[in-house]
Structure 1
Amino acid sequence: MKLYNLKKKNEIVNFSNAVKLGLGAKQGLFFPKNLPIFSKETIKNLLKKKFVHRSQKILSLLIGSEIKKKIIYSSVKSAFSFSEPKISKIKKNIACCELFHGPTLAFKDYGAKFMAHILSFLNKKKKLITILTATSGDTGAAVAHAFYKMKNIKVVILYPKGKISTIQKKLFCTLGKNIITIAIDGSFDDCQKLVKQSFNDQEIKKYTQLNSANSINISRLLAQICYFFEIFHLIKKKNIVLSIPCGNFGNLTAGLLAKSMGLPIKKLILSTNSNDTIPRFLKEGIWNPYPTISTISNAMDISKPNNWTRVEEIFKRKKWNIKELGYGSVTEKETIKNLKELFKKYKYISEPHASIAYTILKKEIKKEEYGIFLGTAHPIKFKKTVERNLKIKLKKSKIISNLSNLKEFCYNIKPDFKKLKRILIKN
């Protein structure tokens, strides 16, 4: 598999190097040079297979011969060893695809665990690798658990202090060992900026090999393609429309890649909270990110989504009209209103991110279409918000029950690159 740097298109690397580098020159994202296009017959046969077997096939076809099939197969089997995606029907023409039944109760478990297995295999010289990543809530836990206690790999996670839920924080700040967590007194965009500065710093590179496990890393995106195929295995409907809660736009990118490969998605809808840079851009044609706003759907509190350049590249490559994307932003009031509607009207307990995707789906869907909104995180991760607004008590999962009394290990710093650099070199 060959990939090129979106900011320096003559920089071409194979899949292994794209995974190990994370980012290219000028902090450019890597993008596949060629994507397979499956025939209708191939897709029909793929959809007959079980989730893990189908995912092994898809990733093997994408990556090609540079990594042996048996390695890809064993990596997928280990990475996707938890519960498969589930469909919860809401009403006649709308359902939720639940992607939160993994070890950290978020969709990011799929991509993070696959990346961990692949990177461990690729690190043949057993050099020390530092995974430096920013999280707006769910990435941190997924990455931390995927790489926990893995030899020769250290994980450093930056998160915006006071802007993620208590449970989200407990899931990755209590591990210790090879997991280092840093609370940044700022926004997720501040965290993301510090990560990018680190990748450009030559002194840090002398001490360790840096990598990123955000959806910046191509291995995570490719793994996410797999559950879009699973949706079509689980739902035997035509004219399927998918509404995706968007933060850094990795999930939307994966869905568009699946569509570009031939999966018959009729339409993709990007759904954001009040951090509405992309909906405004699509409506007005002007790129004008505002300062990040803190919301109850905190994993989406991102004003400058990294993966938007990949989204634009797909539309350009496929000669699609970007205006065919559905889009919309949702206020806090609307988020809560539809969280309540899902519970009171349909007896479905959801959480803020999925409520946003449901809200925009309701506005966009047509009579002849079947709509699916993605459930990207378990309601228990937003316990206070869900219980307060639905006036219920959520049952604690075993994963959450074990967290409350655990000690947290965490640095606290301002968004100061020099301070971050000292921590990276010291550890």
Structure 2
Amino acid sequence: MRYYSTNNRSKYVSLHDAVVNGLAEDRGLYMPEKINRLPEEFFKNIDKMSFQEISFEVAKAFFSDDVDEKSLKDIVYDTLSFDCPVKKVCDDIWTLELFHGPTLAFKDVGARFMARLLEYFIRQEAHQIVNVLVATSGDTGSAVANGFLGVDGIHVYVLYPKGKVSKIQECQFTTLGRNITAIEIDGVFDDCQSLVKSAFMDGDLNKHMKLTSANSINVARFLPQAFYYFNAYARMKANGLAENLVMCVPSGNFGNITAGLFAREMGLPIRRFIAANNANNIFYNYLKTGVYEPKPSVQTIANAMDVGDPSNFARIYDLYNGSHDKISSIISGATYTDDEIKAAVKQCYKDNGYILDPHGACGYQALKDNLKKGETGVFCETAHPAKFKDTIENIINTEIEIPQRLSNFMKGKKQTVELSNKFDDFKTFLLGQ
């Protein structure tokens, strides 16, 4: 499979180059030259297949031309050492719990898959050390850091905005050491993302070290998230509820929902999608007006969605050839303030006994507000509520038990490098590595 840049459809690279380089030379995001549709027989039997079996078939549609079947199966099965169950919350609303991986966040699958795929390419060729740059507004950093921890030939630099991620999220990537370096940026997430993109375009840095990204701008990070949507459909089909299925996705950088849209293009019968935003409502406004206007992000309690210029909008735009009519016919939007998020968490717990995290609360409320008669809705619950312990406990007045996996991280010593949001400072630091 070849890949092209969203800024240049005429120039193609291999999967190896798309993964190892992360971002195209022209700052575009890589897209596969085609999206293979899966056979009808697959969908007829999908409810009888395991998460791993489903995901392997999906992975073959993207990666089998470039990775031998045995290695690809090993990568998929190693990545999915846990399940993502679908649970009923109320009436016609269900949740797909994506937080059962090592860091209790949905990004574990994409991060681990990319780590294994990159390791595969490093073994195949005599690569120099590959340096992974990742910007995080919360869960990406922990998922990537833990997915790549101890992988030979790879060093990870996690950039995060100072004081704008939860303490539990922060300790998941600042206490690891080894081949993980946490960089605390005096700014917001968009500054971190800009630093990463600028590093890829800098000639001096690229001569000095091999750089790639593990944000959802990397095809190996976002494509595996399509597994989730096939699994959701399979589990809902097993419950006899696959007709008129609506997927609602809490959205920040839009990698997760983009993977869902790819799944739909592969033949997955999802009726439509809802992109649930917090107060960073850039995509919501685009759906309403047809005009995409990035703006500085604002801090919210759903911090992993605090993104003012979602990178993966470029992929959505490319996927539908820039047609606002087509995009808005498949995706609707919703946006919620902190107060509305808190109200959703409180009401859901009171009515259903289900504890939401702030991001899942956006998805839940979007379905409550937008689900139509005859539809069944599934929202992605993207992180365990304990990762936002203080916030959620203050809302529901109930103590949340911290899972052992999270409490283990909290015992470690914080190790960070503090930098400004100026690219020259970041460049100087990397040149010294």
TM-score (structure 1 length as normaliser): 0.97
Identify if the C-alpha distance between structure 1 residues 86 and 8 changes in structure 2 by more than 3 Å, giving closer, same or farther. Answer: same
Mean Cα displacement is larger for which, 211-220 or 47-56? 47-56
Question: Partner of 1:360 in structure 2?
Answer: 366
Q: For the residues of structure 2 that align with 1:426 and 1:418, how far apart are their CA atoms?
A: 12
The CA deviation string for residues 112-164 of structure 1, in whole angstroms up to 9 with x for no partner, is 00000000010131410000010010000000001111111100010011000
**What's the counterpart of residue 255 of structure 2?**
250
Shift of 1:400: 1.7
In the alignment, what sits opposite 1:328?
334
CA shift for structure 1 position 11: 1.9
**Amino acid in structure 2 at the alignment position of 1:178:** N
Deviates more, 1:396-405 or 1:410-419: 396-405
Of 395, 398, 419, the residue aligned with 1:392 is 398
1:45 is displaced (CA, Å) by: 2.9
Paired with 2:61 and 2:253, the residues of 1 have a C-alpha distance of 26
Instruction: Pick one of 268, 281, 287 that aligns with 1:276.
Output: 281
Q: Work out whether 1:85 is the aligned partner of 2:78.
A: no
Q: Is the 8 A contact 1:8 1:25 kept in 2?
A: no
The whole-number CA distance in structure 2 between the counterparts of 1:33 and 1:200 is 23
Structure 1 residue 319 displacement after superposition: 10
* Separation in 1, partners of 2:52, 2:147: 18
Aligned to 2:300: 295
Q: Which position in structure 2 is the counterpart of 1:95? A: 94
Aligned to 2:319: 314
Match of 1:193 in 2: 194
> Aligned residue for 1:414?
420
Other-structure match for 1:286: 291
| Alignment partners' CA distance in 1, 2:198 and 2:62 | 31
Deviation at 1:37, TM superposition (A): 1.2
CA apart distance, 1:42? 2.6
1:318 and 1:118 map into 2 onto residues whose CA distance is: 33
Alignment match, 1:424: 430
Deviations 1:321-345 (A, max 9, x none): 1121111111111100010011001
1:30-41 mapped onto 2 (5 Å cutoff): 30-41=30-41
In 1, Cα distance between equivalents of 2:40 and 2:120:
34
Provide the C-alpha distance between the structure 2 equivalents of 1:80 and 1:413, rounded to a whole number of angstroms: 35
Structure 1 Cα separation of the partners of residues 111 and 379 of structure 2:
22
**How far apart are residue 286 of structure 1 and its match?**
2.4
Output the CA distance in 1 between the equivalents of 2:17 and 2:127.
15
CA contact (8 A) 2:111 2:147 kept: yes
How much does 1:317 deviate? 8.5
Paired residue type of 1:221: F
> Deviation of residue 426 (structure 1)?
1.7
Q: For 1:425 and 1:180, locate their aligned partners in 2 and report how far apart those are by CA, in whole Å.
A: 14
Query: Could you say which residue in structure 2 is the equivalent of 1:341?
Result: 347
Q: Alpha-carbon deviations, 1:373-406, whole Å to 9, x = none?
A: 1000000100010111110111111112223331
1:369 is matched with 375
Is the 1:277–1:303 contact (alpha carbons within 8 Å) kept by the matching residues of 2?
A: yes
Match of 1:71? Answer: 71
- Which amino acid counterpart does residue 402 of structure 1 have in structure 2? N
Q: Is the 8 A contact 1:244 1:270 kept in 2?
A: yes
What is the CA-CA distance between 1:267 and the residue it aligns to?
A: 0.7
Corresponding residue for 1:114? 113
CA deviation after TM superposition for structure 1 residue 61, in Å:
2.1
Give the aligned partner of residue 208 of structure 2: 207
The answer to whether 1:149 aligns with 2:150 is yes
Q: What is the Cα deviation at residue 318 of structure 1? A: 9.7
* Cα distance in 2, alignment partners of residues 408 and 353 from structure 1: 26
d(CA) in 2 for partners of 1:97, 1:332? 23
Other-structure match for 1:51: 51
1:313, distance to aligned residue in structure 2 (A) = 1.6
Unaligned runs of 5+ in 1: none
The percent of aligned pairs where both chains have the same amino acid is 38
- Partner residue of 2:138? 137
Provide the C-alpha distance between the structure 1 equivalents of 2:319 and 2:292, rounded to a whole number of angstroms. 19
Distance (Å, rounded) in 1 between the aligned partners of 2:324 and 2:336? 29
- Paired residue secondary structure (1:321): helix
| Structure 1 letter corresponding to 2:271 | K
Q: In 1, distance between residues paired with 2:35 and 2:323?
A: 11
Equivalent pair of 2:290/2:324 in contact (CA under 8 Å): no
The superposition leaves residues 5-42 of structure 1 with CA deviations (integer Å, 9 ceiling, x where unpaired) of 11122220121211111111221100011111123323
C-alpha separation in 2, matches of 1:65 and 1:404: 42
Query: Cα RMSD over matched residues?
Result: 1.4
Q: Which runs of 5+ in 2 are unaligned?
A: none
Q: In the alignment, is the contact (CA less than 8 A) between 1:7 and 1:25 conserved in 2?
A: no
CA distance in 1, matches of 2:127, 2:297: 39
Distance 1:296 1:45 in 2: 41
Distance, in Å, in 2 between the alignment partners of 1:55 and 1:320 is: 31
Query: Any conservation in 1 of the 2:172–2:410 contact (CA below 8 Å)?
Result: no
1:54 is paired with a residue of what secondary structure? helix
Contact kept, 8 Å, 2:251 with 2:275, in 1: the verdict is yes
Q: Is the 8 A contact 2:64 2:72 kept in 1?
A: no
TM-score, normalized by length of structure 2?
0.96
